[in-house]
Amino acid sequence: MVPDYNNYENFFKSLISGFLMDITNTIQLNGKSIPHLIPHTGDDTLYLMDRGYDNSMEPCEVSNQGPRNFYQMVPRGMVKPSGININNSDFTSPFTRGFFSVIDEEDKLVTYSAVFRRIPLTFTVEITYVLPTYFDMLNTIQSILSNCYNIRTFSFVYLGQTLSASYKLPDNFDGQYQMDIDGSSTEAKEKIINISLEIESNFPAYDLDTLTNTDKVILYTKTNINQESKNG
C-alpha cells in the first residue's frame, strides 16, 4: 500500500511553528522576548512550554494558571493567518527526486524517495502586538525595525527534511493608542500595533506514483572483474 504523506504531517503547521519560534526570539521589549501566539488553535503546546512542562518527567505538576491567563499576557503578539498565495511564475522543474521520512504503523522510521515539485507560496499573517504603555509601543517598533530590516530566514522540519522560509518587514505600521488614560474611560489601556508579514516558502508536492522505499533503491554499485590470461 502506497502511503499518503499528507496523512502524517501538516506542512503549514510546521511552517507556522518555525515562524513563531523565530519571531519570538527576534522581537524583544526591555531585553525580554515578546511571546507570539495563535489563539484558539485547540493546541496547548505553547501554554505547556511556557509553564516549563516536561512530558519526560513524572509526576506532572499542575499550575493554577490556566491558558486564559497565558493568552492574555502583556506584552504579547497575537498572530492570525490571513491568506495563502501560490506564485505560479516561480514553479520549479517537476522531475526532481526527493526524500521524506514517516513513522509507519509499526512505529518504525521509514524513508521514501519520489519525484516531487516545489510549489512556491506566500503565507500572509496579521500580527497584533499588545503593549502596556505608549513608550513600549515605540520600543517594540524600534525592535522590529532594528532586527528585521532585511529579509529574515529560518528553518523548520517537515517529514524529516529541513526546509527554509523567510518573511518580510511590513512597509508601514498602524499604531493605535488611547490618549486619555486617567482611568475614567472604559476602553482598554493597552497600546496596539498592527502589522502584516509575508512568509515565503516552498511546499514539496510528491508524486505518489513514483514513490519508492529507499530500502529498495540501489545507492551504489560495485564491480569486480577478474581477467584471466589464457595461453594458447
Is residue 44 in a domain?
Answer: yes
Q: Which residues contact 198 (CB under 8 A, 6 or more apart)?
A: 122, 123, 124, 167, 168
Q: Is residue 173 part of a domain?
A: yes
Asked, for residue 223, whether it belongs to a domain, the answer is no
Is residue 232 included in any domain, yes or no? no
The two beta strands, 36-37 and 32-33, are unpaired
| Amino acid making up residue 193 | I
What is the pLDDT at residue 1? Answer: 58
pLDDT in the model for residue 65: 46
Cα–Cα distance measured from residue 52 to residue 54, given in angstroms and rounded to the nearest whole number: 6
Count: domains in the chain:
1
**What is the sign, positive or negative, of the torsion defined by CA atoms of 105, 107, 108, 112?**
positive
CA pair distance 50, 7, nearest whole angstrom? 29
Please list the alpha-helical segments (H only) found in the chain: 11-26, 45-50, 67-70, 134-147
Residue 96 inside a domain? The answer is no
Spell out the residues 6+ positions from residue 109 whose beta carbon is closer than 8 angstroms to its own: 101, 102, 103, 160
* Residue 61 covered by a domain: yes
What tens-digit pLDDT sequence spans the chain (232 residues)?
A: 566 777 788 999 999 999 999 999 999 999 999 999 887 655 555 555 555 555 444 444 444 444 455 567 889 999 998 889 998 877 767 778 888 888 877 778 888 888 888 899 999 998 999 999 889 999 998 998 888 778 899 999 998 889 999 998 766 656 665 443 333 334 567 888 888 888 999 999 888 888 788 776 555 556 665 555 555 4
- Pairing state of beta strands 161-167 and 152-158? antiparallel
Contact 100, 206 (CB under 8 A): yes
Q: For residue 39, what are the domain limits? A: 5-91+119-205
Task: Judge whether 52 lies within some domain.
Answer: yes
CATH number at residue 14: 3.30.2000.10
Residue 156 pLDDT: 94
Q: Is residue 214 part of a domain?
A: no
